[in-house]
Every structure is written in structure tokens, then in C-alpha cells.
Amino acid sequence: MTFVFDKPTLPAADLALAVEVDQSRDSALRRGAFRGAGRVGMVLSLVLADTVAAQLALFAGLELYWMLSGGAPGPLASSPYLWLAALMLPAVYWLMDVYRVHNLVPIERFQLRIKATCVAFALLLGWQLTTQSGSWPLGATGLAFLFALILSPIGESVARSILIRRGLWGVPAVVIGAGPTGRQVVSVLKKMPELGLRPVAFFDNHHQGSPAAIDGVPVLGAIADSARYSRWIETAIVTDPSGARESVDAVVRQLGYRDIIVVPDLHDLPSLWIKARDFNGLIGLQMRRNLLLRRNRLTKQTIDYLVSLPLCIVSAPIIAVLALWILVESRGSPFYAQPRTGKDGRSIKVWKLRTMYPDADQRLAQHLDDNPVARLEWDRYCKLSNDPRILPGVGRFLRRTSLDELPQIFNVVRGEMSLVGPRPFPLYHLERFDTSFRSLRASVTPGITGLWQVSARSDGDLQVQQALDTYYIRNWSIWIDLYILWRTAGAVLAGRGAR
């Protein structure tokens, strides 16, 4: 397939109008392309956030060390070592490519950031042992490392959120192909601005039949028309421009974009941790089903036990206090056990602190009969924003903080659940999904928290629930579990629990 870049001959009036339209489009696209802080500004914002996080981690580690050891800070709190050490963290992040604006999904970015933090503190420890002669306490360095593991991702998240809210995050990209896959790509990028790509234009050989704009992104012409925009836009996302194999080759060879991202129309496959393989000119995608590997399942179970056993001890007095509060507010047992479907379809009893009235089922049925709007909401989400079953005070507090799930730690100890996994739904909820998805869910152990809980929570309907649970199962790794646990802790502390 060969693209022809020359414009056809037009009458003078039509040619002037075409030139005016082209110039207007060029101007609009330039404004969209250059909107934002620029790559340097975005990176500097992250560097500043990481420098502050490193400073806070070092100060907090030093102060906690002196508190635990019973000593006094002395001159170390103002030591130049503290400032030099704080600069090492963003320096290592830059060397390990943590500051990539795009090409990393949040889970990959979280993984790379944790690894880079480990490397930075290993270098810091080596520097300390060789140059500081023990003047800086090793214990303070260890505590600072733990604080950095927490504060560094938080600082990055805050900085990125501020830039996103101000419209200053992301690099511009054109989308080659306005078909279903191209439209889906734009929808994903708009819903997830943290991916770092801002779609600014569509180009498609069949653009005459397309609307002027799709999801707010203008359709500016045929694929060949996009060539001149590569002067100020570096990234092109190639989807399904014409259904012809030659289209992708032509875009790569002739249109001059520095970064080409090809999005094939492949569904129902893992999309994370995939490696490209070269078969003498043919491209292969290598993917591994991690949850089928015995060592991964054993690692996941080991983490469950290492975390849940101490949590059982720590949470016991908290559960006791909350149970007493429930008894004060409502008669009946403060605990509630509901049969749900576990791994391989086995029925398990999932324990919770009771957040509803004892006659919750009757209250729900009466409310749905009396409120057609609530019936529609229930059919879509299997949840209600104004649920008449929930106890005032204690019930809403427990749901907002997700503390009603604490007794499920004992389910984890019994091996019936995992810390992270698809939530074990009630039967009435599970029956709303198709057979293939129910079979996929039954292949893994259900969890206390999951990707749906930290991503969409009560705002996600059945379709969103299915999409996120499917993504988790097909793309599972230890890093996904650690990322979800980190996000869960933030959601609980911020009170972003279920309604």
C-alpha cells in the first residue's frame, strides 16, 4: 500500500478554503499538542515530589530511631549527609527510567519504583559504610528505607494527580484508525489519564463516513494527512486504520513518528507482563499464566499467612470494640456470616461485622417495590447509594472504612480466602454474570480486597466488575497483589469504602 501525499488540483476558491481549513486544524492540533507542562516540567514535578519524600523519610527514620533507642538527635539532624542522601533517590529513579511519562501502567510504575528504592538505599548503605565511619546510625537508615517505600509512591501519586487535575499531564498522541479499536483506545486514555498519553486527533482512510469528532477527539483526515503533524507530535497509536496489513507498515515507514504503538485487535488475552519475541521477522507475543505456576501459588499463600497471622492478633481488640458498638446500636449478633462461592465453586462462609438491620432482606424487598429508580440501580450495580438496610452510625462508619471486612482475616488463615483476589459474591450477584466468567472466577481463591475495590468500588457496575476481575486473573503477579494492598490501605485511611 502506497500513500499519496500530494493534494489534488482544486479550483482557486476551493483551494483557498481548503488551505484555511488546514491552517485552522493545524493551529488547533498544535494547541492540543503543546497543552501541558511539557516533558521536562512533568519530570521536574516528580523529581521535586521524590526529593521531598526522601527528605521526610530520612528525617522520620532518624527521629523514630532516636525515639526507640532513647538517644538524642544531636548534630545529625542538620548533617549535609541528609541532603545529599535525599538527592540520591531521584537520581536512581532517573537512571532506572522511573520518570517515564507514558509506556508504564500504574502497576508497572509501582513495581519499578519499589525496585529503584531498594537499589537507592543499597547504594546509600554502601556509601554510608565506606565514607561515614558509622556516624550515621544503620538503624536510622533501615527505618528511613521503610518510610521511603511508603512516602515515595504517595508523593508520586499526589504530584501526578495535581498535574492531571490542571490538565498538565501527558504527551500528545495521534490515533491512526477511527474504528472500534481506535475508539476504545481513546476511551481508555481519557478514563485513565495517568497512562500519560493525550489523544489529540484521529486519522483514518475512511474518515468521510466518520463524525467530525469522536469522544471529543477531532477526525482530521486520511492517514496520509497525518504526516505533517509528526513535526511536533512524537507518538502515533496505530489501531485498525483500514483492515489492511499494509497500513501499519506504511505508517511506520512513511509518516515519520518517533514512537509507534501498535494496538492489535486481540481480546481475552493477558495484556500485562507480555514480551515481544522475534521469529525471523515475525512478531510473537509471549505471555505466561502466572497463577498456573505452582511456585507463584505457594508464594501467594505464604504472603497471606505471613500478613494475616499477625493481623489476627492486632485486629482482635479492634473487632471486639466494634462488636460492642454494634450491640449498643442494634440487637442481635454483631457478626454476620453469608454463604458465598469460593475456589472451584465450593461454598464458604464469609464473616463480617454486621452493618445491617436483622430484617435487612425484608427492608430491601419493600424498598425496591416502592422505588422503581432504586430497582434500576440495584439491577445495574447490585448495590444502592441510599441503602435502607444499613444501620445508622456504626453501619455507615464500618462500610466507609471497610472495617466490617476485618473478620475475614480468619477466613484467610483457614485457607478459604486470600488477602487479594476477586471478591466472593453472594449467589444472587454471581448469577448475573455469564457462565464463562463465573468459571474463570472459580479458578482462583477469592480475596478480602481486589482490583475492583481499589479502582471502581461502589461506582462500578456489573460490566466494570467483570472487566476488572478478568484483568486481575489473567494478568496476576505478586506485584499486582502488593499494588492492590497499597491502594487498599490508602482507601481505608481516606474512608473511601463501600456505600
Residue 264 has pLDDT above 90, yes or no: no
Phi, psi of 176 (to 5 degrees): -90, 105
Both 305 and 411 in one domain: the answer is yes
Both 154 and 194 in one domain: the answer is no
Q: In the listed set 248, 265, 282, which residue is the last one of a domain according to the structure?
A: 265
Pick from 294-298, 399-403, 457-461: least confident: 457-461
User: pLDDT, tens digit, for every residue of 165-189?
Assistant: 888 888 899 998 888 888 888 988 9
The verdict on residue 370 lying in a domain is: no
Residue 148 has pLDDT above 90, yes or no: yes
CA distances from 298 to 108, 301, 327 (A): 22, 5, 40
Pick from 23-37, 116-130, 385-399, 450-464: least confident: 23-37
Query: Per-residue confidence at 369, pLDDT binned at 50, 70, 90?
Result: confident
Both 157 and 176 in one domain: the answer is no
End-to-end CA distance of the chain: 55
Query: Per-residue confidence at 73, pLDDT binned at 50, 70, 90?
Result: low
CA–CA gap between residue 84 and residue 64 (Å, rounded):
20
Higher pLDDT, 28 or 395: 395
Both 118 and 161 in one domain: the answer is yes
Contact 483, 450 (CB under 8 A): no
CA distances from 82 to 18, 29, 116, 277 (A): 62, 46, 19, 45
Contact 158, 49 (CB under 8 A): yes
Q: How many CA atoms lie within 13 A of 101 on its CB side?
A: 23
Residue 455 has pLDDT above 80, yes or no: no
Both 240 and 149 in one domain: the answer is no
Both 308 and 415 in one domain: the answer is yes
Query: Per-residue confidence at 457, pLDDT binned at 50, 70, 90?
Result: low
Which 8-state DSSP code applies to residue 407?
Answer: T
pLDDT at 204: 85
SS3 label, residue 495: coil
Both 409 and 479 in one domain: the answer is yes
The verdict on residue 51 lying in a domain is: yes
Contact 145, 61 (CB under 8 A): yes
The verdict on residue 8 lying in a domain is: no
Both 147 and 57 in one domain: the answer is yes
252: its cell numbers: 511506520
pLDDT at 364: 86
pLDDT at 94: 92
Query: Per-residue confidence at 20, pLDDT binned at 50, 70, 90?
Result: very low
The verdict on residue 424 lying in a domain is: yes
Query: Per-residue confidence at 36, pLDDT binned at 50, 70, 90?
Result: very low
CA distances from 81 to 147, 151, 347, 461 (A): 18, 20, 58, 52
Q: In the listed set 143, 165, 187, which residue is the last one of a domain according to the structure?
A: 165
Average pLDDT, integer, range 48-55: 92
Domain assignment of residue 229, given as a range? 170-265
Residue 478 has pLDDT above 50, yes or no: yes
Domain count, the chain: 3
Both 112 and 187 in one domain: the answer is no
Rg of the chain taking only CA atoms, in angstroms: 27
Q: In the listed set 135, 165, 195, which residue is the last one of a domain according to the structure?
A: 165
CA distances from 13 to 16, 18, 22, 487 (A): 5, 9, 14, 59
Both 185 and 325 in one domain: the answer is no
SS3 label, residue 2: coil
User: pLDDT, tens digit, for every residue of 193-237?
Assistant: 888 899 999 888 876 666 788 888 888 888 888 888 888 888 888
Indicate which CATH number applies to the domain containing 257. Answer: 3.40.50.720
The verdict on residue 369 lying in a domain is: no
The verdict on residue 99 lying in a domain is: yes
In the predicted model, what is the mean pLDDT of the chain?
Answer: 80
pTM of the model: 0.75
Average pLDDT, integer, range 295-313: 88
pLDDT at 153: 92
Residue 5 has pLDDT above 50, yes or no: no
pLDDT at 16: 40
Both 431 and 334 in one domain: the answer is yes
Residue 7 has pLDDT above 50, yes or no: no
Both 323 and 443 in one domain: the answer is yes
User: pLDDT, tens digit, for every residue of 310-344?
Assistant: 988 999 999 999 999 998 888 888 998 888 888 88
Cβ atoms within 10 Å, residue 237: 22
